DNA sequence: CTGGATTGCGCAATCA
DNA sequence: ATGATTGCGCAATCCA
């Protein structure tokens, strides 16, 4: 009682000398082609993404650099002012020394 | 005057039923395998690179954010001080208004 | 079960 | 001649 199918013996797979088989192969070959094209596209996009990120990155680095520089300058200015006036680093009632360090340390440690 | 070679007819290529041919195929198959492994590795590395850059990027963004914030705060402090003393924005002999804008504009325009 | 999508694999052409 | 790459088809397998 071999299972009776619509086809002859071993389905379309493996054997089936012609039409159905060929048809199936052809379709698969197309699928393979599509799949590979897609794959290559993705690879390309990934590489582009890398360059894009590199760009953004260097822009940000410069930004950080100039902001840090700026901040450093202001800090010195502050300290100079403070010592000139002997008001213990207080300016407008704020403890600048502490403030400046707070948001400078955490930013410089990664450079 | 058929060209005389060391082999029979069509070289080792295409035909040559055995040894030389098979040997060549086998070597190529290995080469293909090597090549494909290498290729996949490179793809993987590229993807890792993307994530790595994403990381660096967000770190930098935060850095810029906090530095900018800091700078904004100091700027206000400065301006307040200047107006309180009615010295035309001069502080320690420096024109802060101008200074602060110079290296702040170029840094905020991309946010 | 049906059928496209992926993937490993080998062949041959071509590059270096 | 030789290894590296690349397009291509086959078949197994995945996945929906």
pLDDT tens-digit map of B70-108: 998 888 887 777 776 665 556 555 665 565 554 444 444
Selected residue with higher pLDDT from A1 and B76? B76
pLDDT attached to residue A88:
56
CA A37 to C1' D14 (Å) is 19
Query: Is the per-residue pLDDT at A46 higher than 60?
Result: yes
**Which nucleotide has the shortest C1'-to-CA distance from B24?**
D2
Residue pLDDT, tens place only, B23-82: 999 999 999 999 999 999 999 999 999 999 999 999 999 999 999 999 988 888 877 777
Residue pLDDT, tens place only, A50-106: 999 999 999 999 999 999 999 988 888 877 777 766 655 565 556 655 655 544 444
DSSP helix/strand/coil, B20: helix
CA B53 to C1' C3 (Å) is 40
Burial of residue B97 (number of CB atoms within 10 Å: 0-12, 13-18, 19+): middle
Q: Are B109 and B95 in contact (CB under 8 A)?
A: no
pLDDT attached to residue A104:
46
What CA–CA distances, in Å, run from A1 to A4, A5, B73? 8, 12, 88
Beta-sheet strands, E only, within chain A? 90-91, 94-95
Mean pLDDT value of segment B3-29: 69
A53 sits within 7 Å of strand C by its CB: no
**Which nucleotide has the shortest C1'-to-CA distance from A35?**
C5
């Amino acid at each position: 009682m071999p299972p009776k199918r619509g086809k002859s013996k071993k389905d379309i797979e493996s054997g089936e000398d012609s039409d159905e088989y060929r048809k199936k192969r052809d379709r698969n070959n197309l699928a393979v082609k599509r799949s590979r094209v897609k794959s290559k596209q993705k690879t390309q996009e990934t590489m582009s993404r890398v360059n894009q990120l590199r760009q953004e990155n260097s822009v940000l680095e410069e930004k950080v650099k100039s902001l840090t520089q700026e901040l450093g300058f202001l800090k010195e200015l502050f300290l100079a002012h403070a010592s000139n006036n002997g008001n213990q680093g207080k300016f407008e009632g704020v403890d600048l020394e502490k403030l400046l360090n707070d948001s400078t340390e955490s930013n410089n440690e990664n450079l």
